Structure 1
């Protein structure tokens, strides 16, 4: 049983930083490509935004229900206080989808997600309040317990104990703080940013004529400056794209930079999409890269997304909520991914047909999985067909038949 904070120790224990470097926050220092990489600039890359959206939107929209263990298996515990928080609204201003999507985005972009757990006096969870990772500092007490210092928007600091915080981690090195793919592969994201900047500057100039102008001997510095300004005014910018350049007598233009074709810029941009998808373990088809997609594998790629991308995040949520928010081991939370794994209509129909014919699935169960209304008596014919028919090959003879057979054998 967990109790509200008023029953805990009145004086906090001495604390020390749980880590030497605050590596869970991006510093924005330039990487190898010479561009600043942080969560804001990284989300400006369409592939990064699409990967984060694909994972966070799916995780946030999947049903996360509370179940109770029973003698016959399990059943939904709709009366449990946590059921409403995870299924409807965890606080006064967010829906369950908005809350879980926000938390999942924090995990992917910053490696950590935090939510304050508000407890009722009876030991049940009253609300879950999200906290921005940049406003939370993780400390370790003298007894080895974790505590969380949270600074609100007004600059006020509060200290929360470990059982007052729902903490989600991603790819942690020390078991305390997680790391995001943007932090680990900063240079990969920086290269994508540099390629985007290169293309934007190229189109901003509006011309591929990038190089040097050679002037005849005797040209003064002032004259060279006038030639440069005249060239920039007449050729730079989208509005001047395609205009014919005119140079002063004796001046020549020589290209010294690579064109987009020489640098294979378009192919490099596509490679950046694939590398970004690889960082987040998302199939490129899920973020709009349809080059490797076709009618025969798109369903399998979607199933791959569930089993190889989402599974880790879903288990993270389930184990964290079970550990931090549920007091009774008879209850647990679990996602329902059946809708994502159903496949096409023909595959589902064949699957259900085999289950019904082989006797390990009822027609009423099929209708429940497909979210169809129940039909009274729909399983009666199926259970009768499954029972051995009287006089059939599997029927057992009664006592009179056994006596008659015995007398016939004796005669």
Structure 2
């Protein structure tokens, strides 16, 4: 306790300004304020974040014990229940992991408070919103997490009391989100959406001119303009019949939305967002390149190039912060559920590798997260029958 007291008595400085300040410090080149809330309002961003966070959260995450002949699930390990079913009294494991993964993608950092008991075991994991966490660094380069609760009360947690997930860190202390790094790309998508909203609010009609007789006065012209705007602008007036004074004529002087390539720009924004989060466009609703033949490969790409980085981030953070004996126990996801569409090819591959002699049955079972079977590699062993 004296050591903890001395640590908190030391002067601490911000490791960084809070992520919120970094987001709101500047606007993008389009003049649009970009922050996690506004960015998530873009359907492509929401879909990309949902695709990753829901997939990560729904994958089985188990604790394994290393054994002489491989490994086995450590179902009695205290972390098994926390990561597999219920990390705290308010959330299920899926809700907890999905929330933290969303924080990683939208804010670059995710935090969870680790509640240790007197026996040195973890009782619960409580998610902390990044808005409420300020990361400090002491004079001896130790991290301290200052947490502000909903009542405005502040408290400090040691690094051993916080599970910290980072995304694309430049210094190993704080993560950065694609939204922050590529603010201009997200801002352009926001500007395009705002442009479309304004066009539709005016009845999807672009501006034009009303040509009147040369004898029309300024006052009469203003009345005609105001009357036209009141009767024709807005979605509620769409389809109404326009009436102009005698001799007046309406002429459109602008291009249509299609001619201005607005729709194409919106499509490009979807592709840009998919590129930022490394998500196949088909997973966020862009089906132009999707077909039955490439569905399996797109799924494999998603697992290998999108999810793998996040899954390893979770596993290594858990092994480092939550497991007391990493030489014996470790956490690992099972991605089999996302690759089931390719099970036939894997079965053919395993069968060929076993028959050619460069893989053993026990190795196949280990790769498939199946329990070991004694004697399965004996020459006389036969595959189990049902």
TM-score (structure 1 length as normaliser): 0.83
Q: Is the 8 A contact 2:44 2:284 kept in 1?
A: yes
Greater Cα radius of gyration, structure 1 or 2: 1
Aligned position for 1:213: 210
Q: How far off its partner does 1:331 sit?
A: 1.4
The reply to whether residue 326 of structure 1 matches residue 323 of structure 2 is: yes
Of the three residues 244, 247, 263, the one matched with 2:244 is 247
- Alignment partners' CA distance in 1, 2:106 and 2:4: 35
Against the structure 1 CA distance between its residues 34 and 188, is the aligned structure 2 distance closer, same or farther, given a 3 Å change threshold?
same
Shift of 1:347: 2.0
Q: Which residue of 2 aligns with 1:117?
A: 114
RMSD: 3.0
2:278 counterpart residue number: 281
Question: Cα 1:382–1:202, aligned 2, differ >3 Å: closer, same or farther?
Answer: farther
Hey, what does 2:150 align to over in structure 1? 153
CA distance in 2, matches of 1:192, 1:264: 14
Q: Alpha-carbon deviation of 1:287?
A: 1.4
Match of 1:336 among 334, 337, 346: 334
Aligned counterpart in structure 2 of residue 233 of structure 1, from 220, 230, 234? 230
Secondary structure, in 3 states, of the residue corresponding to 1:344? helix
Work out which structure has the larger RCO, using CA pairs closer than 8 Å and 6 or more positions apart in sequence: 2
2:5 to 5, 10, 13: 10
CA offset digits 1:89-143 (Å, max 9, x no partner): 1111111111010000000000000001111112111111110001100111011
The 8 Å contact of residues 360 and 377 in structure 2, kept in 1 or not, is answered as no
| The one of 261, 264, 268 aligned to 2:261 | 264
- Of 73, 83, 91, which residue of structure 2 is paired with 1:86? 83
Q: Secondary structure at the match of 2:82?
A: helix
Alpha-carbon deviations, 1:240-276, whole Å to 9, x = none? 3344544334544443433202211111111110000
**Residue of 178, 184, 194 corresponding to 2:191:** 194
Whether the 8 Å contact between 1:342 and 1:348 is mirrored in structure 2 is no
Q: In the aligned structure 2, how far is the partner of 1:88 from the partner of 1:356? A: 36
Alpha-carbon spacing, 1:183–1:120, altered in 2? closer, same or farther (3 Å):
same
> SS of the residue aligned with 1:140?
strand
> Kindly tell me: are residues 368 and 53 of structure 1, through their superposed partners in 2, closer, same or farther at Cα, counting changes over 3 Å?
same
Q: Residues of 2 paired with 1:84 and 1:249: CA distance?
A: 79
**Following TM superposition, by how much is the alpha carbon of 1:190 offset from its aligned partner in structure 2, in angstroms?**
1.4
Distance 1:332 1:7, change over 3 A: farther
- Specify whether residues 40 and 377 from structure 1 end up closer, same or farther in structure 2 by C-alpha distance, changes over 3 A only: closer
Q: Distance in 1 between matches of 2:138 and 2:92?
A: 34
Structure 1 residues 117 and 154 mapped into 2: Cα distance closer, same or farther (>3 Å)?
A: same
TM-score, structure 2 as length reference = 0.88
Question: 2-side partners of 1:351 and 1:163: how far apart?
Answer: 44
Does structure 2 conserve the Cα–Cα contact (< 8 Å) formed by 1:352 and 1:366?
no
Mapped to 2, the partners of 1:276 and 1:58 lie a distance apart of 18
Q: Paired residues, what number?
A: 379
CA distance, structure 2, for counterparts of residue 140 and residue 363 of structure 1: 48
Q: Say if 1:367 and 1:166 are closer, same or farther in 2 by CA, change over 3 A.
A: closer
Are residue 347 (structure 1) and residue 342 (structure 2) matched?
A: no
> Shift in Å at residue 317 of structure 1?
0.7
Unaligned ranges ≥5, structure 1: 1-5, 387-411
Taking the aligned partners of 2:158 and 2:14, their CA distance within structure 1 comes to 15
Superimposed CA distance per residue, residues 40-98 of structure 1 (whole angstroms, 9 cap, x where no aligned partner):
22111111011000000011011111112222222211121111111111111111111
1:24, 1:178 within 8 Å by CA — same for their partners in 2?
A: no
| 8 Å CA contact retained: 1:24, 1:110 | no
2:216 and 2:375 mapped to 1: Cα distance?
97
**CA offsets, 1:334-389, max 9 Å, x none?**
11112223433532442354356456454997799599x99x99979983579xxx
Taking the aligned partners of 1:201 and 1:183, their CA distance within structure 2 comes to 26
- After superposition, give the CA deviation of every residue in 1:143-187 in whole Å (9 maximum; x if it has no partner): 110101000111111101111111111011222111111111112
